[in-house]
């Protein structure tokens, strides 16, 4: 769909955190890059807001970008808000009746409410060319993900469903595709013959930040590994693509996820979980997770998760992929690291041995570093590792701007297809079950530390 076709963006849950902090700034960053894009933003929520209060919210979110005056004025002139109890069938129908197509319905709602609204939408006349944009989690396990997909397919076709994963919108996809397929250097070594192991790490120095309502029911595994990090794995490990079309990328990503299984087939041996205790990050004093406001310690929610998987296909069999993410860690570390195998033969005569070469892909801000063994300064017989580094340009808009652009244009390149969403649960369900049954101990780490000792190999990159 051409970018100048007017589209209605109906945000359900417009009074919430996602809308205010991410969606509206995202749309603002899109308007900054594409000022003539025509989009009418309609907000709906049960919160009682006047038209002026809603416009002020949109204006405040735009100011964080900031959006240039002309597109901001145009979007503000068109935007409106409709107080709606979305679980009330009459109110929901009235809301939809007032929206013309092409229409994007963005579910910025708690997942349980989204599911109920989708059920109600079965009895509502949707405008032609209605697309649905959904936030993770897409279901709560493989079974519920399948049921939710079936429910969505009662409303619109799969190519009109956009399961949003903002990691796919942070230039990750394009940077990885360019790095892998736009030069001749990496393609021949991108396989198990040359790569010994891979780590996909998203350690955050943020703690709970008042998000107990969501996070305490999710935990690090559902929040990050089952969703974002498996998507990154999919793009890192996929076969080559013919072009940058949605079908090519979705097909290859889905193939990788279908081939992905827990390392050794054992949830107990392949997974670790931990929770932070009181500590300090910089000057911030962090309470123990169990003492954070809104946390129910009996839920046993993990704040750090690590899972090892294997992609059982010709390219990757035998290579462990470690996925890890957590909160309240001392140093943020958001990287994909490929560790290369040793050279088949190191010429005799060097004073020391060669350390394994590494390729480090920084996810945010984007950068690529090759850490290669070569001659040291001083004695030519001495070897050391040197880093060749390239900074990647920051995304031209916010990650949510990139995903919203695709949704508004009706292009599924950056969304998660139904089969991939189900595969992600299929991979992680056994871990969730093993944790629930207490088969993997809950470890602890002080906030501000690097996490429990010994989780990653000693030579794991620390910068
Ligand atoms: N916030 C974030 O950083 C991120 C959020 N997400 C996902 O986005 C979604 C929304 O999250 P978030 O914005 O944080 O959640 P919030 O709870 O902040 O916002 C949800 C909004 O929906 C409203 N709502 C709930 N039920 C109804 C109803 N029946 N009728 C009308 N309005 C209703 C809520 O109103 P009330 O307050 O009255 O309940 C609230 O304003 C979730 O799926 C989450 O997983 C994904 C990535 C990041
Ligand atoms: O979806 C989520 O992502 C963020 C991390 O992404 P970032 O772009 O903000 O770095 C994470 O903090 C949050 O818990 C999770 O819900």
> Which among 81, 146, 141, 135 is positioned nearest to 113, based on CA atoms?
135
pLDDT tens per residue across span 75-134: 999 999 999 999 999 999 999 999 998 999 999 998 889 999 999 999 999 998 999 999
Q: Are residues 126 and 251 in the same domain?
A: no
Residues comprising the chain, all counted? 463
The kind and range of the H/E element at 325 are strand 320-326
Report the share of the chain in percent with pLDDT over 70.
99
Phi and psi angles of residue 287, each rounded to the nearest 5 degrees, phi first: -75, 165
* Closest ligand to Cα 163: 1
Residue 421 Cα to ligand 1 midpoint, Å, equals 21
Q: Read off the CATH number of the domain in which 250 is found.
A: 3.30.360.10
Here the contacts of 364-370 (C-beta below 8 Å, separation 24 or greater) are 364/170, 364/334, 365/391, 365/392, 365/394, 366/171, 366/175, 366/391, 366/392, 366/393, 366/394, 366/395, 367/391, 367/392, 368/175, 368/179, 368/392
Cα torsion at 449, 455, 458, 463 (round to 10°)?
-40
- Angle of CA points 164, 214, 430, to nearest 5°: 75
Nearest CA to ligand 2 atom 14: 223
223 in a labelled binding site: yes
Q: Are residues 307 and 261 in the same domain?
A: yes
Identify the pLDDT of residue 3.
Answer: 62
Residue 215 Cα to ligand 2 midpoint, Å, equals 11
- DSSP per position, 211-251: -HHHHTTTHHIIIIIIIIIHHHHHHHHPPP-SSS-HHHHHH
> Is 286 contained in some domain?
yes
85 in a labelled binding site: yes
Identify the pLDDT of residue 44.
Answer: 98
Q: Are residues 291 and 440 in the same domain?
A: yes
Q: Which residue among 17, 18, 108, 166 has the greatest number of ligand 2 atoms within 8 angstroms of its CB, and so is best to mutate?
A: 166
Among residues 92, 114, 135, the one where a domain terminates is 135
List the alpha helices (DSSP H) in 34-86.
Answer: 51-63, 69-78
* Closest ligand to Cα 81: 1
Place of tokens 């998760």: 305
Whether 391 contacts 366, CB under 8 Å: yes
Q: How buried is residue 8: exposed, middle or buried, by Cβ count under 10 Å (0-12/13-18/19+)?
A: buried
Q: Is ipTM > 0.90 here?
A: yes
Nearest CA to ligand 1 atom 7: 135
> Is 179 contained in some domain?
yes
Q: Are residues 226 and 364 in the same domain?
A: yes
Distance CA 335, CA 204 (A): 11
Q: Are residues 205 and 339 in the same domain?
A: yes
Distance CA 271, CA 434 (A): 9
Q: Are residues 190 and 64 in the same domain?
A: no
Q: Is 422's C-beta closer than 6 angstroms to any atom of ligand 2?
A: no
Identify the pLDDT of residue 463.
Answer: 60
Q: Are residues 265 and 381 in the same domain?
A: yes
166 in a labelled binding site: yes
Q: Read off the CATH number of the domain in which 60 is found.
A: 3.40.50.720
Q: Are residues 253 and 189 in the same domain?
A: yes
Q: Is 217's C-beta closer than 6 angstroms to any atom of ligand 1?
A: no
> Is 242 contained in some domain?
yes
Report the share of the chain in percent with pLDDT over 90.
89
Please list, residue by residue across 294-324, b when 16 or more beta carbons sit within 10 angstroms of its beta carbon and e when fewer do: ebeeeeebbbbbbbbbbbebebbeebbbbbb
Q: Comparing 364 with 154, which gets the higher pLDDT?
A: 154
Q: Model's pTM, two decimal places? A: 0.95
Sign, Cα dihedral of 248, 250, 256, 259: negative
> Is 195 contained in some domain?
yes
Q: Are residues 216 and 365 in the same domain?
A: yes
pLDDT tens per residue across span 294-325: 999 999 999 999 999 999 999 999 999 999 99
Whether 125 contacts 100, CB under 8 Å: no
Distance CA 137, CA 228 (A): 10
What is the number of alpha carbons within 13 Å of residue 121 lying toward its C-beta?
Answer: 23
Q: Is 18's C-beta closer than 6 angstroms to any atom of ligand 1?
A: yes
Q: Are residues 235 and 363 in the same domain?
A: yes
> Which among 379, 360, 378, 380 is positioned nearest to 370, based on CA atoms?
360
Report which ligand 2 atom has the smallest distance to the Cα of 218.
16
Distance CA 129, CA 5 (A): 12
> Which among 397, 370, 461, 374 is positioned nearest to 183, based on CA atoms?
370
Distance CA 358, CA 341 (A): 9
**Residue 383 pLDDT > 90, yes or no?**
yes
Identify the pLDDT of residue 335.
Answer: 96
Q: Which residue among 25, 223, 225 has the greatest number of ligand 2 atoms within 8 angstroms of its CB, and so is best to mutate?
A: 223
Phi and psi angles of residue 348, each rounded to the nearest 5 degrees, phi first: -65, 155
> Is 149 contained in some domain?
no
Whether 166 contacts 403, CB under 8 Å: yes
- Strands 320-326 and 195-203 turn out to be parallel
Pick the catalytic residue: 160, 228, 261, 345? 228
Whether 421 contacts 429, CB under 8 Å: no
What is the chain's mean pLDDT, rounded? 95
Nearest CA to ligand 1 atom 2: 18
Residue 56 Cα to ligand 2 midpoint, Å, equals 26
Identify the pLDDT of residue 395.
Answer: 80
Task: Check if 160 is active-site.
Answer: no
> Is 406 contained in some domain?
no
Identify the pLDDT of residue 169.
Answer: 83
* Three-state DSSP state, 165: coil
Q: Which two tokens stand for residue 35?
A: 């000022």
* pLDDT band at residue 170 using 50, 70 and 90 as cut-offs: confident
Average pLDDT over residues 376-387: 92
Q: Is 135's C-beta closer than 6 angstroms to any atom of ligand 2?
A: no
Q: Are residues 121 and 194 in the same domain?
A: no
Identify the pLDDT of residue 6.
Answer: 92
> Is 400 contained in some domain?
no
- The total of structural domains in the chain comes to 2
Identify the pLDDT of residue 133.
Answer: 98
Identify the pLDDT of residue 384.
Answer: 94
Distance CA 281, CA 446 (A): 10
Average pLDDT over residues 54-76: 97
> Which among 133, 123, 75, 82 is positioned nearest to 103, based on CA atoms?
133
* Closest ligand to Cα 45: 1
Residue 27 Cα to ligand 1 midpoint, Å, equals 18
**Residue 462 pLDDT > 80, yes or no?**
no
Identify the pLDDT of residue 270.
Answer: 98
Whether 219 contacts 271, CB under 8 Å: no
Residue 334 Cα to ligand 2 midpoint, Å, equals 11
Among residues 94, 110, 135, the one where a domain terminates is 135
Q: Which residue among 82, 85, 109 has the greatest number of ligand 1 atoms within 8 angstroms of its CB, and so is best to mutate?
A: 109
Residue 233 Cα to ligand 2 midpoint, Å, equals 17
86 in a labelled binding site: yes
Identify the pLDDT of residue 2.
Answer: 61
pLDDT tens per residue across span 215-232: 999 999 999 999 999 999
**Residue 424 pLDDT > 70, yes or no?**
yes
For residue 242, give Cα distances in angstroms to 101, 123, 158, 182, 249: 32, 41, 22, 12, 9
> Is 158 contained in some domain?
no
By residue range, what is the domain housing residue 63?
7-135
Q: Are residues 246 and 111 in the same domain?
A: no
Residue 139 Cα to ligand 2 midpoint, Å, equals 18
Q: Which residue among 169, 204, 329 has the greatest number of ligand 2 atoms within 8 angstroms of its CB, and so is best to mutate?
A: 204
**Residue 286 pLDDT > 70, yes or no?**
yes
Identify the pLDDT of residue 355.
Answer: 87
Place of tokens 């679980």: 87
Report which ligand 1 atom has the smallest distance to the Cα of 218.
45
């Amino acid at each position: 769909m051409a970018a100048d076709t007017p589209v209605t963006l109906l945000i359900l849950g417009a009074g919430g955190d996602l809308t205010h902090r991410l969606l509206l700034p995202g749309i603002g960053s899109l308007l900054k890059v594409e000022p003539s894009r025509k989009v009418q933003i309609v907000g709906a929520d049960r919160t009682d807001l006047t038209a002026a209060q809603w416009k002020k919210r949109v204006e405040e979110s735009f100011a964080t970008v900031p959006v240039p005056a002309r597109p901001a004025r145009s979007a503000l002139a068109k935007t409106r808000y409709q107080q709606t109890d979305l679980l009330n069938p009459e109110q929901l129908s009235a809301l939809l009746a007032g929206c013309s197509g092409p229409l994007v319905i963005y579910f910025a709602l708690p997942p349980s409410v989204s599911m109920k609204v989708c059920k109600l939408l079965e009895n509502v006349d949707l405008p032609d060319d209605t697309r649905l944009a959904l936030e993770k989690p897409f279901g709560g396990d493989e079974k519920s993900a399948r049921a939710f997909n079936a429910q969505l397919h009662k409303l619109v076709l799969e190519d009109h469903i956009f399961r949003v994963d903002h990691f796919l919108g942070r230039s990750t996809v394009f940077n990885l595709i360019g790095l892998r397929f736009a030069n001749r250097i990496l393609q021949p070594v991108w396989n198990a013959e040359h790569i010994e192991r891979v780590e996909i790490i998203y350690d955050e120095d943020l703690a709970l930040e008042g998000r107990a309502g969501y996070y305490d029911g999710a935990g690090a595994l559902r929040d990050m590994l089952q969703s974002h990090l498996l998507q990154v794995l999919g793009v890192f490990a996929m076969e080559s693509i013919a072009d940058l079309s949605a079908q090519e990328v979705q097909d290859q990503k889905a193939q990788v996820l279908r081939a992905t299984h827990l390392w050794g087939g054992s949830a107990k041996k392949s997974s670790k979980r931990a929770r932070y205790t009181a500590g300090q990050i910089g000057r911030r004093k962090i309470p123990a997770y169990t003492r954070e406001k809104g946390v129910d310690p009996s839920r046993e929610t993990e704040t750090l998760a690590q899972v090892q998987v294997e992609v059982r296909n010709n390219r990757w069999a035998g290579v462990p992929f470690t996925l890890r993410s957590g909160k309240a860690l001392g140093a943020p570390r958001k990287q994909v690291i490929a560790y290369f195998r040793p050279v088949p033969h190191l010429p005799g005569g060097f004073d020391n041995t060669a350390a394994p070469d590494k390729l480090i892909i920084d996810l945010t801000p984007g950068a690529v570093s090759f850490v290669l063994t070569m001659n040291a300064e001083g004695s030519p017989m001495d070897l050391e590792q040197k880093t060749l580094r390239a900074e990647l340009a920051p995304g031209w808009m916010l990650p949510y701007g990139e995903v919203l652009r695709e949704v508004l244009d009706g292009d599924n390149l950056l969304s998660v297809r139904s089969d991939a969403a189900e595969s992600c649960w299929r991979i992680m369900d056994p871990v969730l079950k093993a944790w629930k049954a207490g088969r993997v101990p809950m470890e602890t780490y002080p906030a501000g530390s690097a996490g429990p000792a010994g989780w990653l190999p000693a030579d794991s990159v620390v910068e």
